[in-house]
Chain A
Amino acid sequence: MTRAPAILAMTLAGVAAIGLLLVLEENVQVAPWAEHGAEGRLHFQTKNANRLGGSAADVRRAVARAIYLDSTALERFAALDWRERIRAGIEVDARPRHVVALPDEGEEAAAWALPGAYWAAFAGSPVVFLGRETVPDDALDSIRRLGVPVYVLAPETLVSERVAEEIARLAPVRRIAGDDLAEHAVRITEYRDAATDFGWGREHEDLPTVFHFVIAAPADVDAAYSALPLAQAVAGAFLFAGDDGGVPGPTDRYLWSQRGDWFVTPSETSFRHLWLVGDRVSYASQGRLDLAVEKGPYLSKGPVALGPLEALGIVFLALGIAGFGFVLLHGARLLPDVPPAMRIAWAFTALLVPVGGVVLYLAAYRRPRLNPDEDTPKWLRPPAVQAAAATAMGFGYGAPLMIAIGYLFVYYGFPLAFGEWAMDGAEFVLGAGMPIMMAAMYVGAVLLAWPFVQTGMQAMMLGAPRREVAGRALGVTALSMVAVSLGMMSVGWFMLMERDPMMMPHEDEILWFVSLWLAAAVGYLVAWPLNWPIVRTRLKPGTM
């Protein structure tokens, strides 16, 4: 009696653990096929990312053609250094409401100035250049003359606090800077002050908007300045890639948060478009960034990204796993009289009915034992809790079995039949994958739970040999699983087939587990009242 349920339980826990580990692996891996995916490519444009590669001169010509429709239009740009390009590329607003202050000294200044330069080029902001410890006279004159707030877009290592204080005597000053280049660019992209008309203000994806972003590695700074006109043409905010070709953490985090979502059709919402400038951004990065801004359905946000339904689902699963552990430990330490098969059934109930399962388990054993002197223990319980315990007895094995069988189906793929016989009526559903899977889940769960668990339970309850109660156990198991299936199958169908316009999530997506977990929880709630007549007719015990 003890060994068979334990073996079954370990198998089920193993399937769930392997499934969840595969989900985890799927979500933490970055670009495992990058090398393979780049092989034999005829070009490197992707659906969400244009690539302007080659030298700075190549980029300049490509940008000129992209914007002015003539690849020679920016030739005069070539001779200018980065400061001159910024000045030449900005049509300054006649009545500016802010001034952009960029760093001027040091080798790093050109890279740190890039995100600010893109903003200024888009907005027509007057730009001043500041030294590390000094303010050039022309900058002071401009700031004094304009008399509008100054945004210092540089860290203190490039424009000191003393310099900021000196400017502050002439105009309000605000410094916006990140700890590293990638974070610096993200901060400028997210920041907005409507009063001074400063900043892109692109914090999240909620608005039906189309945002372009220009991305380059710091070592490709020359190419990045060649692409500066994109700031005007496509309202392109600037973000950094890494010199190693990778995507730095802040850029990665930011672009995933920019992924658009939709309710009914992906055509209803906005999109994001990236311009990858220079050759350094690796193909692995391009694949990741292209995926990061791929639109997803609202509730799940699509592959890899964490949607609201997934976030709630993960909490749901975590509570279930915690409950599973609690019931196993609590039962083993404090309720050794309870038959192990019943403790396992409660543990799986707590797993699939988070919190509620633990509460019902505690309620089932909070009163004294009815028969302390007998071998088959019974507990004093009100009718509702008796029904809950009887439900757990069937559900605790049946529901995880159904999930495990369903998992094997999605892992190996559904059988599908659509021959001529499926032509005219509703009989086509007999060949459809989902109904086949649901039938297999039910039949498989009954056929496994019957010999492994329920026959032993019935034998214990009736004090009779297994052989004599086998037929009765099969009937009881089939009946219990019908009760569970009523709620579980209907919610499972809704979650996998109706809720998601993209249709069923794959076996390595957390939503697959969340859907079946939730379906099982509802299955328990539906089966609970239906188990009371089963207890009343003594088909199942309510006091074990």
Chain B
Amino acid sequence: MTPGPCSVPRPVRFAATAPYMATAWKWLRPWTPLVSALALLGGCGSTDGPPVTPDEGGVEPVVTAYTTRLPAPDPVTQAIVISQTVYPATREENAVGAIILSPQNPAIAFTAMSRITHMPVNAPLLYLDEERRIPETTLREMRRLRPDGVVQDGQTQVYVVGDVDPSVAETVRRELRYQVEIFPAGDPVALAELLDRWQAALKSDHPDEVVVSVPTRVGMQHGVGAMGWNAHMGKGFAWVFPDSVPPETRRVLERRHGDAYIYITGGEDVVSPAVARELARYGPVRRIRGPTVFATNAVNAGYKDFGRNWGWWWDEVPRDFGWGIAQAGHNFIIGDANDLLGLIPAAVLGHMGKHGPILLVTPDRVPPATADYLRMVRPDVLTPNETILNFAWIIGGENRVSWEVQRELHRLLSPTGGDAETLGAWERVNQRGDLVGGEASGEARS
């Protein structure tokens, strides 16, 4: 029950201990340099520091209990805002392994994020400007991120992807003294093949699960969720066209020697049945699809393919693809379907922190497929030591995802008493604005 007073030690006759102390000191003295060195090491850091006040000219994230909006006026800034969220860079362990530098070409960035971001590389994606030069803000962010280097790739710190002038790499080397590797393929199909070869050497293996998407705007909208899974788990990736399989993709699939598991993102309106049949020559084909891009990405969030890949009972390697999230307790990355350049770097939020799949909305509404999925995974109220809640990152300013949509997402993510249409206990409490706030509470009740 009530704790008693601290026990007081008996008086000690210090004089009587002197001989023992002298003996102990004799033994301990040779170790004092080592102990001092360790103490010095131990004292080499502190979390003390000045208060944190955002600089002027920054962005203002909009925070609700279950969502955080990361706004930005343009893709370059959006990528920086995201990388600053994921990587505090106060020490090596929360800084990056490397940095991806990409032109503002969605298909190139999509390919790079699919294959480079995941461990062991651990890289966010930053953009070049529209003239394919390094913006000053990106250079500053690269300096802040202090990449550790990729052990498996000669301690490379920056990967430049796409058809980019060599002066970009030179600038990075000169200004930041970082080690740069260039993947110079300007064609996303060729880039995917090149990165597949590079990843195979990096990991001494080809991941047999291969995502296949189409490098068009709609194709990438259907595939952006699966791209997020790749940024999270580092699986294979290749492009196809709606009616044909390019030779580079054939080569990628041939390297799996018939063991590929192929996941097409989108329905038959995106990738034709003929292409699916063609791909089936290289391994089993599945489609992650819905009638809309919103539905495809909701399906992707719930999709799981798990089973034997190869091996035997003492060392069976499973195939393991997809988030498979069908219950509460998860994080989501939510953005405007038309904001591919914002969503692609945001996949790094699924690589670290709370992780989680990408879902799509429009600027002014949460489409039914996305809303239905969020209702399915909506948490219930539990005891305080078994709390399960959802969370979401919202990518872009209000021109991309309006405040009304953020509010709607907040409600869809909030815990319920069990029925999405019936307000749960916490929601009642949350909306009890009239007790403490008065007139403003009406909006919350709406």
Residues on A facing B (Cβ under 8 Å): 21, 24-26, 28-34, 36-48, 50-53, 62, 64-70, 72-77, 88-89, 91, 122-123, 152, 161, 164, 173-175, 177, 192, 199-203, 207-212, 229-230, 232-235, 237, 242, 244-247, 252, 264-267, 270-271, 273, 279-288, 290-291, 294-295, 303-304, 410, 412-418, 422-424, 428-429, 431-435, 497-498, 501-504, 506-508
Contact = CB atoms under 8 A, between A and B. Distances in A.
B9 interface: no
A283 B52 contact: yes
A452 to B, nearest CB: 28
B153 interface: yes
Contact of B407 (A69, A229, A230, A282): A69
A418 B198 contact: yes
A413 B437 contact: no
Contacts of B90: 31-34, 37, 283-284, 286-288, 291
Interface in B103-138: 119-120, 137
B166 interface: no
Given A43-B58, A69-B407, A73-B437, A506 B47 contact: no
A430 to B, nearest CB: 9
Interface of B: 1-3, 38, 41-42, 44-55, 57-66, 68, 70, 77, 80-81, 84-86, 88-95, 119-120, 137, 140-141, 143-144, 146, 148-156, 197-198, 200-204, 232-233, 251, 254-255, 315, 320, 323, 325, 329-331, 349-350, 352-357, 379, 383-391, 407, 410, 426, 429-433, 435-438, 440-441, 443-444
B89 A36 contact: yes
Contacts of B444: 68-70, 73
A537 B437 CA distance: 92
B44 A413 contact: no
Contacts of A200: 384-385
B88 A418 contact: no
B88 to A, nearest CB: 4
Contact of B88 (A283, A422, A507, A508): A283
Contact of A28 (B41, B51, B55, B141): B41
Nearest to A497: B204
Contacts of A175: 1-3
Contacts of B426: 232-233
Nearest to A494: B315
A235 B389 contact: yes
Contact of B144 (A36, A48, A271, A291): A36
A432 B47 contact: no
Contacts of A232: 426, 429-430
Contacts of B323: 267
Contacts of A70: 433, 437, 440-441, 443-444
B54 A290 contact: no
Contacts of A433: 151-153, 201-202, 204
Given A40-B140, A210-B387, A266 B355 contact: yes
B54 A43 contact: yes
Which of A41, A192, A304 has the most B CB atoms < 10 Å from its CB? A41
Given A279-B53, A291-B90, A415-B154, 7 more contacts: A28-B42, A36-B144, A37-B88, A50-B63, A91-B435, A267-B325, A271-B329
Which of B50, B88, B151, B233 has the most A CB atoms < 10 Å from its CB? B88
Nearest to B39: A28
Nearest to B330: A267
B49 A283 contact: yes
Contact of A290 (B57, B94, B320, B384): B94
* 9 residue pairs, one from A and one from B, having the closest CB atoms: A287-B90, A282-B49, A47-B353, A30-B45, A413-B155, A201-B385, A37-B89, A73-B437, A303-B93
A242 to B, nearest CB: 7
27 contacts: A21-B41, A29-B44, A33-B95, A36-B89, A46-B88, A52-B63, A67-B64, A68-B443, A73-B440, A74-B437, A76-B438, A173-B1, A208-B388, A209-B329, A233-B430, A234-B66, A235-B387, A235-B389, A265-B232, A265-B320, A284-B48, A287-B94, A414-B151, A416-B154, A433-B151, A433-B152, A506-B148
Given A68-B444, A234-B389, A201 B384 contact: yes
Nearest to B427: A233
Given A89-B436, A303-B93, A424-B254, A24 B41 contact: yes
Which of A281, A429, A432 has the most B CB atoms < 10 Å from its CB? A432
A162 to B, nearest CB: 11
A208 B329 contact: yes
B50 A53 contact: no
B49 A245 contact: yes
B440 A75 contact: yes
Contact of B120 (A161, A233, A504): A504
Given A70-B444, A288-B90, A422-B201, A28 B389 contact: no
A48 B437 contact: no
Contact of B353 (A44, A48, A279): A48
B41 to A, nearest CB: 5
A247 B48 CA distance: 7
Nearest to A199: B384
B201 A428 contact: yes
A304 to B, nearest CB: 6
Contacts of A503: 119-120, 152, 203
A535 B301 CA distance: 61
B382 to A, nearest CB: 8
B329 A67 contact: no
A245 B384 contact: no
A480 B249 CA distance: 45
Contacts of A229: 430, 436
Nearest to B49: A282
A423 B255 contact: yes
B441 A68 contact: yes
Contacts of A290: 88, 94
Contact of A413 (B144, B146, B149): B149
Contacts of A32: 44-45, 90-91
A32 B440 CA distance: 45
A234 B51 contact: no
A434 to B, nearest CB: 5
Contact of A65 (B1, B57, B64, B350): B64
A245 B51 contact: yes
A394 to B, nearest CB: 27
Given A207-B386, A282-B49, A73 B441 contact: yes
Contacts of B84: 41-43, 46
B387 A211 contact: yes
Contacts of B89: 33, 36-37, 287
Given A208-B388, A209-B387, A91 B429 contact: yes
A267 B61 contact: no
Given A33-B95, A210-B388, A72 B437 contact: yes
B151 A413 contact: yes
B394 to A, nearest CB: 12
B385 A192 contact: yes
Contact of A432 (B60, B200, B440): B200
A131 B324 CA distance: 54
B436 A282 contact: no
B312 to A, nearest CB: 14
Contacts of A245: 47-51
Nearest to B428: A91
B200 A47 contact: no
B396 to A, nearest CB: 14
Nearest to B301: A267
Contacts of B429: 91, 232-233
Contact of B251 (A47, A423, A497): A423
Contacts of B60: 43
Which of B53, B232, B354, B431 has the most A CB atoms < 10 Å from its CB? B354
Contacts of B204: 429, 432-435, 497
B85 A45 contact: yes
Contact of A506 (B41, B151, B410): B151
Given A69-B444, A212-B389, A507 B51 contact: no
